[in-house]
């Protein structure tokens, strides 16, 4: 058995970028590739679409290529504080509707309901004032208690207030207006993104996102890279990822951009929002599998690395001899030859008895 293990250790090698497997009992399961989703918010902001909804659709589309392990978004402070024109128009409509409700010109059929305590109000302004004076102050007190506590007391307070704080956050999204911008960073964080804000300098967000992507590739944390951007400055990063045998996907609005032509697959912003990208990703993954099989079957002639058949056989024999040196005999000797001779008469007598 020892000799067999040595023989296997000589010829078992794992190349760079090999497929990862998980050994579950006697079965060997192939693990899905790890996907990294990188979003350039300066170049592709959600604009009029709710950020939480867009983030969830991006995550669903990226999950078609494997297991999404990392979702990262970079933006400067101006992008996070900027309010798009459609959002500003909706705010103006809400303010006009509040004024008409306060004057009694418009009456709503159903009253406004507080999602925290269940109280009902006839106007939206009364609901907002109630929410700020009561629930917002209670939430601030809970946060201060948790921040001031330490050790086990802090853990108990977090467990005690977790349900109430989550209920407050859900109700505050529909009642309160975000203090900064329209809540872009908070909504993306709620969807699972890691949002990083950089300084308002030219190309600051692009440089930070590039370094993050290269760092992920250096540490081999991803096997598939999904980029949400139309910026051609990321072409070199996409090429580097392909050289490292990573699958690359680009999501953007430019139909024939150089960035999309460089990547292995590309989708438009509309396809992501309508859900078509998830359906098309199935055929893309199948094409990738077929391409990998064809690459394994390819053979290229390289005279420098060519080894004659006799040299190859001699190398294999030398390696086998080295593996069997510690067994105390030649490789052609069987294990049955090392059986003690004194045991042979005993076996013969036993055979005669059985007869």
Consecutive sets of 10 residues in the chain, 355 residues long: mean pLDDT of each? Answer: 39 42 52 90 83 90 91 87 76 87 86 91 91 91 92 92 90 74 79 88 87 92 92 91 91 82 88 85 82 72 56 60 55 53 46 40
Q: Are residues 65 and 202 in the same domain?
A: yes
Q: Which of 124, 146, 181 is a domain's end point?
A: 181
The answer as to whether 302 is a domain residue is no
- Are 221 and 246 within 8 A, CB to CB? no
Per the structure, the count of domains in the chain is 2
Q: Which of 275, 294, 313 is a domain's end point?
A: 294
CA angle 108, 111, 114 (to 5 degrees): 140
Domain that holds residue 99: 85-181
The answer as to whether 169 is a domain residue is yes
Two tokens, residue 139? 């939430």
The answer as to whether 12 is a domain residue is no
Tell which residue, 12, 9, 29, has the closest CA to residue 20: 29
The pLDDT value recorded for residue 292 is 76
The pLDDT value recorded for residue 180 is 53
The pLDDT value recorded for residue 191 is 87
Q: Are residues 105 and 253 in the same domain?
A: no
Q: Are residues 199 and 237 in the same domain?
A: yes
The answer as to whether 136 is a domain residue is yes
The pLDDT value recorded for residue 291 is 77
- Are 231 and 40 within 8 A, CB to CB? yes
The answer as to whether 310 is a domain residue is no
Q: Are residues 112 and 260 in the same domain?
A: no
The pLDDT value recorded for residue 211 is 92
The pLDDT value recorded for residue 257 is 79
**What is this structure's pTM?**
0.65
Tell which residue, 123, 131, 122, 41, has the closest CA to residue 77: 41
Q: Are residues 113 and 210 in the same domain?
A: no
Q: Are residues 245 and 120 in the same domain?
A: no
- Are 198 and 208 within 8 A, CB to CB? yes
Q: Are residues 61 and 193 in the same domain?
A: yes
Q: Which of 294, 318, 350 is a domain's end point?
A: 294
Q: Are residues 96 and 174 in the same domain?
A: yes
């Amino acid at each position: 058995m020892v000799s067999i293990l040595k023989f296997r250790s000589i010829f078992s090698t794992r190349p760079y970028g090999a497929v990862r497997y998980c050994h579950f009992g006697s079965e060997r399961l192939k693990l899905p590739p790890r996907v990294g989703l990188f979003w350039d918010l300066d170049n592709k902001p959600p604009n009029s679409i709710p950020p939480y909804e867009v983030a969830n659709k991006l995550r669903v589309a990226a999950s078609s290529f494997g297991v999404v392990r990392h979702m990262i978004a970079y933006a400067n402070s101006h992008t996070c504080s900027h309010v798009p024109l459609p959002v500003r128009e909706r705010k103006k409509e809400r303010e006009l509707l509040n004024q008409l409700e306060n004057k009694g010109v418009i009456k709503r059929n159903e009253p406004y309901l507080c999602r925290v305590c269940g109280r009902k109000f006839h106007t939206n302004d009364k609901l907002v004032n109630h929410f700020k004076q009561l629930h917002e102050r209670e939430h601030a007190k809970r946060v201060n208690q948790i921040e001031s506590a330490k050790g086990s007391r802090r853990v108990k307070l977090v467990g005690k207030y977790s349900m109430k704080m989550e209920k407050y956050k859900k109700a505050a999204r529909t009642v309160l207006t975000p203090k900064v911008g329209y809540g872009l960073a908070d909504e993306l964080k709620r969807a699972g993104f890691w949002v990083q804000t950089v300084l308002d300098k030219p190309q600051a967000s692009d440089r930070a996102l590039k370094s993050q992507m290269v760092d992920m590739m250096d540490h081999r944390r991803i096997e598939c890279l999904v980029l949400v951007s139309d910026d051609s400055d990321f072409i070199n990063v996409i090429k580097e990822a392909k050289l490292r045998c990573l699958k690359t996907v680009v999501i953007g609005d430019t139909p024939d951009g150089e960035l999309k032509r460089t990547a292995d697959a590309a989708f438009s912003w509309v396809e992501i929002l309508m859900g078509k990208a998830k359906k098309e990703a199935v055929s893309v993954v199948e094409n990738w599998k077929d391409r990998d099989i064809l690459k394994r079957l390819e053979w290229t002639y390289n005279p420098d690395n060519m080894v004659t058949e006799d040299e190859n056989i001699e190398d294999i024999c030398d390696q086998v001899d080295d593996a069997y040196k510690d067994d105390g005999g030649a490789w052609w000797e069987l294990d049955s030859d090392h059986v003690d001779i004194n045991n042979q008469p005993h076996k013969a007598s036993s055979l005669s008895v059985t007869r």
